[in-house]
Amino acid sequence: MNRTPDDLLLDLRGAALRPADPLDDDTPSDFGRELQAGLSRPAKSVPPKFFYDAEGSRLFDRICALPEYYPTRTELQILDTHAGEIAAQIGPGADIVEFGAGSLTKVRLLLDALEVPRRYVPIDISGEHLEAAARRLRAERPALQVHPLVADYTGALSLPAGPGRRVGFFPGSTLGNFAPDEALRFLRSAASLLRGGGLLLGVDMVKDPALLHAAYNDAQGVTAAFNLNLLRRANTELGADFDLGAFHHAAFYNAPLKRIEMHLVSRRDQEVSVLGKAYRFAEGETLHTENSHKFTVDGLKALATEAGFIPGRVWTDRDRLFSLHWLLAPPSW
Contact residues for ligand AVI (CB under 6 A)? 19, 63, 71, 172-174, 176-177, 216, 223, 290, 292
Q: In terms of C-beta density within 10 A (0-12 exposed, 13-18 middle, 19 or more buried), how is residue 283 classed?
A: exposed
Nearer to ligand AVI, 322 or 326 (CB): 322
Q: Which of 24, 27, 45, 25 is CA-nearest to residue 36? A: 45
Q: Are 283 and 306 in contact (CB under 8 A)?
A: no
Query: Helices 209-216 and 70-81 sit at what angle, rounded to 10 degrees?
Result: 110
CA dist 107 to 6, 272, 308, Å? Answer: 15, 42, 25
Nearer to ligand AVI, 60 or 315 (CB): 60
Least spacing, CB of residue 71 vs ligand AVI, in Å: 6
Least spacing, CB of residue 173 vs ligand AVI, in Å: 5
Nearer to ligand AVI, 87 or 133 (CB): 133
Nearer to ligand AVI, 90 or 264 (CB): 264
Nearer to ligand AVI, 162 or 292 (CB): 292
Spatial CB neighbours of 251, under 8 Å, sequence gap ≥ 6: 213, 216, 217, 223, 227, 260, 261, 262, 263
What is d(CA 253, CA 266) in angstroms, rounded to the nearest whole number?
A: 20
Q: Which of 91, 134, 132 is CA-nearest to residue 113? A: 91
What is d(CA 122, CA 236) in angstroms, rounded to the nearest whole number?
A: 31
Least spacing, CB of residue 131 vs ligand AVI, in Å: 22
Nearer to ligand AVI, 61 or 95 (CB): 61
Spatial CB neighbours of 155, under 8 Å, sequence gap ≥ 6: none
What is d(CA 235, CA 178) in angstroms, rounded to the nearest whole number?
A: 26
Comparing every residue's Cβ against ligand AVI, the nearest one is 292
Least spacing, CB of residue 217 vs ligand AVI, in Å: 10
